[in-house]
């Protein structure tokens, strides 16, 4: 027992140092350039403790002195800032038609960004395309792939630990095979973290969009697929089984574009209100040139009455789903995203229906983050994980 107690006592100062360094790094990331005196005031730590922690962070290359504060009483004070090149984070977005990626340095500056149309016909080919995309991004930054500190992959689906595989992966053929996850781990290494793509979009909204100053909001994505990212008390919620936000499985099957086969595979709401359902509804209604949901919405904007009726039906379906979220979670804000969620006039149409359906009306806004939302969320999540890892290593 004496050995255990001694080991715990020896580990305690190291743990305290690590906590202090994490606290300082968080303030430097958010408020830098910043002086030792300012850090002591913000954290409540003593000046000697701050000096010791900063010295450790400097030695490990996580922060550096970027200048001095002058023009105030007393001697000039060194200003500390995150050293951007201390590490790099890779964010990848896996879609059925496009693969998107970006690399950011530890200061959060995006150094490279790229979107490519996928030609893959199976999961292994798609993984190889992701590897090739990563190599191209790294070359643009001027680094080796081995210099990536953290990789975050935004993907449809949720992780099932019983199968050690992704499930509910929608329209990505073969993506739910255990061999796919094994291959991803092999190619991207131990720093790989996989996040549901819509949850990643919600992280981006939290970091850069309408959710920045909101404690609770739901990001509802309506496009090729349908999903929701839920932030409560400032934290992304996955649920006990990882399926929080899989609203595509809500049992709404009354839309004129609903397909029973899709409902069995991907859920009733997805089969009734996704982009494919909008196209089916438009064709059944006789809308000309209804090859994509975007063209259906464009026709409605031009005054096509048949297309407008399809859009109105879509708005009602989405409003019903959002009303369900409101009555269960009661968030401060609803953010609509995805190709349909951000389509011209759709926000107003959904809001009009919600006024008739919902017991209370939170704010409802359309996302302004664009097609790079998932990558932005992956980078934000990756930066948080990277800093945790780097500080732990420096304290060790």
Q: pLDDT tens-digit profile of 342-380?
A: 999 999 999 999 999 999 999 999 999 988 999 999 999
130 has a pLDDT exceeding 70:
yes
Pairing label, strands 165-167, 158-160? antiparallel
14 has a pLDDT exceeding 90:
no
pLDDT in tens, 90-126: 999 999 899 999 999 998 999 999 999 999 999 999 9
Structure tokens at 37: 């005196």
Instruction: Report pLDDT for 304.
Output: 96
Instruction: Report pLDDT for 10.
Output: 47
Domains defined along the chain, listed by start = 2-82 (1.10.10.10), 86-200+374-395 (3.30.420.40), 213-368 (3.30.420.40)
8 has a pLDDT exceeding 60:
no
Torsion of CA 299, 301, 307, 311, to 10 degrees: 130
pTM: 0.87
Instruction: Report pLDDT for 389.
Output: 76
Q: What is the DSSP letter of 45?
A: -
The values of phi and psi at residue 287, to 5°, are -70, 125
249 has a pLDDT exceeding 50:
yes
32 has a pLDDT exceeding 80:
no
Q: Where residue 135 falls among pLDDT bands split at 50, 70, 90?
A: very high
| Mean pLDDT, residues 322-340 | 96
pLDDT in tens, 39-58: 999 888 998 998 998 998 88
- Measured CA to CA, the distance from residue 171 to residue 117 in angstroms comes to 16
Structure tokens at 113: 């960004």
Pairing label, strands 333-337, 363-366? parallel
- Measured CA to CA, the distance from residue 262 to residue 75 in angstroms comes to 70
Instruction: Report pLDDT for 125.
Output: 96
396 has a pLDDT exceeding 60:
no
5 has a pLDDT exceeding 80:
no
Torsion of CA 390, 202, 182, 243, to 10 degrees: 130
Q: What is the DSSP string of 287-338?
A: -TT-SSHHHHHHHHHTT-HHHHHHHHHHHHHHHHHHHHHHHHH--SEEEEEH
Instruction: Report pLDDT for 72.
Output: 61
Instruction: Report pLDDT for 2.
Output: 33
| Mean pLDDT, residues 73-100 | 88
19 has a pLDDT exceeding 90:
no
The values of phi and psi at residue 143, to 5°, are -125, 165
83 has a pLDDT exceeding 80:
yes
pLDDT above 70 as % of the chain = 93
Instruction: Report pLDDT for 197.
Output: 95
Q: Which residues contact 272 (CB under 8 A, 6 or more apart)?
A: 252, 253, 254, 255, 257, 258, 263, 317
Q: Which residue has the tokens 């909101």?
A: 214
Look at residue 106 and give its three-state secondary structure: coil
Look at residue 258 and give its three-state secondary structure: coil
pLDDT in tens, 189-237: 999 999 999 999 999 999 999 999 899 999 999 998 899 999 999 999 9
The values of phi and psi at residue 358, to 5°, are -85, 145
Instruction: Report pLDDT for 4.
Output: 39
Instruction: Report pLDDT for 394.
Output: 52
Torsion of CA 188, 191, 197, 198, to 10 degrees: 180
Pairing label, strands 148-155, 110-117? unpaired
241 has a pLDDT exceeding 70:
yes
């Amino acid at each position: 027992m004496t050995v255990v107690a001694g080991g715990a006592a020896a580990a305690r100062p190291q743990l305290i140092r690590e906590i202090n360094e994490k606290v300082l790094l968080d303030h430097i990331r958010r408020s830098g350039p910043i002086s030792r005196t300012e850090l002591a005031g913000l954290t409540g730590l003593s000046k000697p403790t701050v000096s010791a922690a900063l010295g450790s962070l400097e030695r490990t290359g996580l922060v550096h002195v970027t200048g001095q504060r002058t023009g105030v009483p007393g001697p000039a004070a060194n200003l500390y800032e995150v050293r951007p090149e201390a590490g790099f984070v890779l964010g990848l977005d896996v879609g059925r038609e496009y693969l998107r990626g970006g690399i950011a340095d530890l200061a959060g500056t995006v150094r490279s960004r790229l979107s490519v149309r996928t030609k893959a016909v199976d999961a292994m080919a798609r993984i190889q395309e992701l590897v090739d995309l990563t190599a191209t991004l790294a070359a643009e930054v001027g680094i080796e792939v081995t210099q990536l500190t953290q990789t975050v992959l935004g993907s449809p689906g949720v992780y099932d630990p019983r199968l050690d595989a992704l499930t509910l992966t929608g329209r990505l053929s073969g993506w739910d095979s255990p061999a796919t996850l094994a291959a991803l781990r092999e190619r991207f290494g131990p720093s790989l973290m996989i996040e549901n793509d819509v949850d990643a979009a919600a992280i981006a909204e939290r970091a850069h969009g309408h959710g920045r100053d909101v404690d609770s909001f739901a990001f509802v994505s309506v496009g090729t697929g349908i999903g929701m990212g839920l932030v409560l008390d400032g934290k992304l919620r996955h649920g006990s089984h990882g399926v929080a936000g899989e609203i595509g499985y809500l049992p709404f099957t009354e839309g004129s574009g609903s397909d029973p086969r899709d409902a069995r595979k991907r859920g009733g709401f997805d089969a009734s209100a996704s982009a494919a359902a909008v196209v089916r509804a438009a064709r059944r209604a006789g809308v000309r040139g209804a090859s994509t949901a975007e063209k259906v919405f464009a026709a409605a904007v031009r005054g096509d009455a048949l297309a407008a009726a399809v859009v109105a039906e879509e708005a009602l379906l989405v409003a019903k789903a959002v009303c369900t979220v409101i009555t269960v979670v009661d968030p401060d804000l609803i953010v609509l995203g995805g190709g349909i969620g951000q389509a011209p006039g759709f926000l107003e149409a959904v809001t009009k229906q919600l006024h008739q359906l919902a017991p209370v009306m939170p704010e409802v806004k359309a996302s302004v983050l664009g097609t790079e939302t998932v990558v932005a969320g992956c980078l934000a999540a990756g930066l948080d994980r990277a800093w945790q890892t780097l500080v732990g290593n420096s304290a060790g």
